[in-house]
A and B are shown apart, each in its own frame.
Chain A
Amino acid sequence: MRNAALGVRLLVLVAFAAFFILPVVWLVLAPTKSDGALVTHSPLSFGSFHQVWLAWRHLDAFSDHIYRRWILNSLFYSLSATAITVAVGIPAGYGLALGSFPGRRVVLTLTLVAMIMPSAALVLPIFLELDALHLIGSVFSVILPFSFFPFGVYLAYIYYATSLPKDLLDSARVDGCGEWQTFRRIALPLAKPVVALVFFFSFVADWNNFFLPLTVLADSKQYPIQVGLSDLLSSTPSFNPAQGGGGQSVNIFRPELALATLLAVVPVAVVFLVSQRALVRGMLGGAVKQ
């Protein structure tokens, strides 16, 4: 009876594993086949590396190497915005957790509310705001809103409020540190896991953001990769053979699209896998008391 239960459990877990993984496996294998092969051969078969190279050539040729620009744009936006997020957010979390000034609770509440409220609802007002400031069309219209990341501030706040023994800061003050030195020499070095966490979440959120860049950027050369992919999608006859591609002869078929998607995911996947350990430790860090 026990074995039957274990068997069922395993079956369910494996079934879901297939659900989660098979599409990814398909995606990795798709660029190795030609468009025709994708239809005729088994979905999980491996084609050839040569095919991948061909797919890349087609993809790169699209609209004058715009794909590369898109990837570089994403890297630029995400890294710049994340740099600002970390530089601004970690001290803010510190100040909110360990400081005492009038309005501290207000700022904290506003941050919490902003954090839980999805940003999509604010995109249009932000667009209008940026328009009033004449920033539409510049990279700042993407980077600056991206840099507002209340979740990062919240993570830092939680960390400093719960995991940093107050005695350490008192000791630093007695040892001669002023407020800034206390932060720089004691609070910041001890927050490495949180910095990694905030970096990760901010980078991924920025990389995956679609609505904001779509709204504030007009020139497709400035698009980040997510918006670029949608552009690609509308140029390809892949999903509807009746589509002519708008006069531009593009060799963007399914393998190219799959490759474009795959490459768009690689940076995030790398950051993802590399930060695994820091992530899990960081997420559970609050729960584990010393």
Chain B
Amino acid sequence: MARVAFEGVTKVYGDGTRAVDALDLEIADGEFMVLVGPSGCGKTTALRMVAGLEEITDGVVRIGDRVVNDLSPKSRDIAMVFQSYALYPHLSVYDNIGFALKIKRTPKSEIERRVGEAARTLDLEALLKRKPRALSGGQRQRVAMGRAIVREPAAFLMDEPLSNLDAKLRVQMRADIKKLQSDLGVTTIYVTHDQVEAMTMGHRVAVMRKGKLQQAAAPQELYDNPANVFVGGFIGSPAMNMLEARIERRDGALAAVLGEAAVPLDDETLVRRPALAAYEGRDVVLGIRPEDLDDASLTNGDGLPRLSGRVEIREALGSEMLVHFTVAARQAMTDEVRELAEDVGDDRMLEQYMTGTQAAVATLVGRFAPRTRVLEGEAVEVSIDRRALHFFDPGTGLAIA
């Protein structure tokens, strides 16, 4: 058991690409830390640098108090679960799990005991004699886990271990891994591109983008207070709506103006975000989560600010209705927004960004109550929970706090 620390860790490849850029992150002893981000963000490279499978260009990685930069993987006391599981095809499940112990010349009886224990924990006892090709995907995943836990290492490193499983199995395994980690209390670094996985499993989640750490915090904190546009748009599904707005004084009070609508800013917002006052007369990026939008006719005039729009598409989920609607406002167009669109495959937004033409209308997504009666093609009044407005500087992308 040990802490793991990245101190200014950088990885530059021969052709100049900076896969990881000055990463500073500390993972406490026994913590479950998830590294999440779109592909190419450097999360796997960072993990492999801890494992010793990638050379560290600059900076220091510590496991415990030791600097491990120059240690080979076998001397670092870590265990790794690979995305492809990397089970040795020519060895049985028993031999696979016990492999590392055999290399260390652990006595046979000891190997038997520990492999047996790991097999019991992961429900693999009936499969010990089989070879990997005779196992299902889920079983192979568990063998890969077994191989890691039997070593009782200082840290677990997991590289997208669930991405090759089908959806239902994935949900089950998420819970299993989380419980396992909690029982064993081993420091764990877990890499995934799936933000749902990140949010449900981690004690803390570190969001990465283009090699740089964006924000590392507990899941709820990331959700409530994203540090920048990227984190705001990455965490949460459907993604946060990002709009162009201008802070203006209307009727003596500050309001966020989008298109024709003006959303007054109440005192609570201004208290929480004192820097917002300095943005009077300037543009900002306004972020509203879909769950903070609802059918105004249902919220019954609680004095909530409203937007007028037209419904494009409804998606009935049963527990709620996802409504895509247009408003006369402009979509925020920043680098981060574009990258998020790329990640999700939103071609329309990408096209707008490429051609530089912003439509005069933006499409927003809202999570309405299931009993909403809005219909496609019709006008709709949407209420905004103004306590949950997010503001970002259009230039830096940072949250205005």
Who on chain A is nearest to B76 by CB?
A: A174
Interface string of A78-111 (1 = CB under 8 A from B): 0000000000000000000000000000000000
Give min CB distance, A218 to chain B, whole Å. 48
A165 contacts B103, C-beta separation under 8 Å: no
- In the A-B complex, the 4 residue pairs with the smallest Cβ-Cβ separation, listed nearest first, are A175-B100, A167-B86, A171-B86, A176-B103
Contact of B79 among A174, A177, A181, A189 (CB under 8 A): A174
Give min CB distance, A175 to chain B, whole Å. 4
A171-B103 contact given A165-B86, A176-B74, CB 8 Å threshold? no
B90 contacts A190, C-beta separation under 8 Å: yes
Chosen A-B contacts, 28 in total, with CB atoms closer than 8 Å, are A165-B84, A167-B82, A167-B86, A170-B51, A170-B53, A170-B73, A170-B86, A171-B82, A171-B86, A171-B88, A172-B88, A172-B99, A173-B52, A173-B53, A173-B72, A174-B52, A174-B73, A174-B80, A175-B74, A175-B99, A175-B103, A175-B147, A176-B104, A177-B103, A178-B72, A185-B103, A190-B89, A190-B90
State A65–B354 Cα separation when bound (angstroms): 86
Who on chain B is nearest to A171 by CB?
A: B86
Contact of A167 among B73, B74, B84, B90 (CB under 8 A): B84
CB-defined contacts of B147 to chain A, threshold 8 Å: 175
Give min CB distance, A244 to chain B, whole Å. 62
CB-defined contacts of B61 to chain A, threshold 8 Å: none
Give min CB distance, B110 to chain A, whole Å. 15
A174-B90 contact given A167-B84, A181-B103, CB 8 Å threshold? no
Q: Indicate whether B78 reaches chain A with its CB closer than 8 angstroms.
A: yes
Q: Indicate whether A186 reaches chain B with its CB closer than 8 angstroms.
A: yes
A189-B86 contact given A173-B73, A175-B99, A177-B74, CB 8 Å threshold? no
CB-defined contacts of A176 to chain B, threshold 8 Å: 74, 100, 103-104
Q: Indicate whether A168 reaches chain B with its CB closer than 8 angstroms.
A: yes
CB-defined contacts of A170 to chain B, threshold 8 Å: 51, 53, 73, 80, 82, 86
- Name which of B86, B100, B147 has the most chain A CB atoms within 10 A of its CB: B86
CB-defined contacts of A173 to chain B, threshold 8 Å: 52-53, 72-74
Knowing that A170-B53, A171-B80 are A-B contacts, what are 15 other residue pairs whose CB atoms are under 8 Å apart, sorted by A's residue number? A165-B84, A165-B86, A167-B82, A167-B83, A170-B73, A170-B82, A171-B82, A173-B73, A175-B151, A176-B100, A177-B74, A178-B72, A178-B74, A181-B103, A189-B90
State A252–B82 Cα separation when bound (angstroms): 68
Chain B: interface secondary structure? loop
Interface string of B302-343 (1 = CB under 8 A from A): 000000000000000000000000000000000000000000
State A172–B90 Cα separation when bound (angstroms): 13
CB-defined contacts of A168 to chain B, threshold 8 Å: 86, 88
Give min CB distance, A67 to chain B, whole Å. 43
- Name which of A171, A173, A181 has the most chain B CB atoms within 10 A of its CB: A171
CB-defined contacts of A174 to chain B, threshold 8 Å: 51-53, 73-74, 78-80
Give min CB distance, B232 to chain A, whole Å. 35
CB-defined contacts of B74 to chain A, threshold 8 Å: 173-178
State A171–B99 Cα separation when bound (angstroms): 10
- Name which of A173, A174, A181, A190 has the most chain B CB atoms within 10 A of its CB: A174
Within 8 A of B (CB), among A142-189: 165, 167-168, 170-178, 181, 185-186, 189
State A178–B52 Cα separation when bound (angstroms): 13
Give min CB distance, A28 to chain B, whole Å. 40
CB-defined contacts of B104 to chain A, threshold 8 Å: 176
State A176–B106 Cα separation when bound (angstroms): 12
CB-defined contacts of B151 to chain A, threshold 8 Å: 175
State A213–B100 Cα separation when bound (angstroms): 49
Within 8 A of A (CB), among B140-181: 147, 151
State A163–B90 Cα separation when bound (angstroms): 14
Who on chain B is nearest to A175 by CB?
A: B100
State A167–B140 Cα separation when bound (angstroms): 15
Within 8 A of A (CB), among B56-104: 72-74, 78-80, 82-84, 86, 88-90, 99-100, 103-104
Who on chain B is nearest to A186 by CB?
A: B88
Within 8 A of B (CB), among A45-98: none
Interface string of A180-220 (1 = CB under 8 A from B): 01000110011000000000000000000000000000000
CB-defined contacts of B90 to chain A, threshold 8 Å: 189-190
State A174–B144 Cα separation when bound (angstroms): 13
State A114–B78 Cα separation when bound (angstroms): 44
Who on chain A is nearest to B99 by CB?
A: A175
State A223–B295 Cα separation when bound (angstroms): 97
CB-defined contacts of B89 to chain A, threshold 8 Å: 190
Within 8 A of A (CB), among B94-129: 99-100, 103-104
State A186–B74 Cα separation when bound (angstroms): 15
CB-defined contacts of B83 to chain A, threshold 8 Å: 167
CB-defined contacts of B78 to chain A, threshold 8 Å: 174
Who on chain A is nearest to B48 by CB?
A: A170
Give min CB distance, B155 to chain A, whole Å. 11
CB-defined contacts of A178 to chain B, threshold 8 Å: 72, 74
State A190–B86 Cα separation when bound (angstroms): 13
State A177–B151 Cα separation when bound (angstroms): 14
State A167–B51 Cα separation when bound (angstroms): 13
State A189–B80 Cα separation when bound (angstroms): 22
State A190–B91 Cα separation when bound (angstroms): 10
CB-defined contacts of A171 to chain B, threshold 8 Å: 80, 82, 86, 88
Give min CB distance, A204 to chain B, whole Å. 27
State A181–B74 Cα separation when bound (angstroms): 12
Who on chain B is nearest to A178 by CB?
A: B74
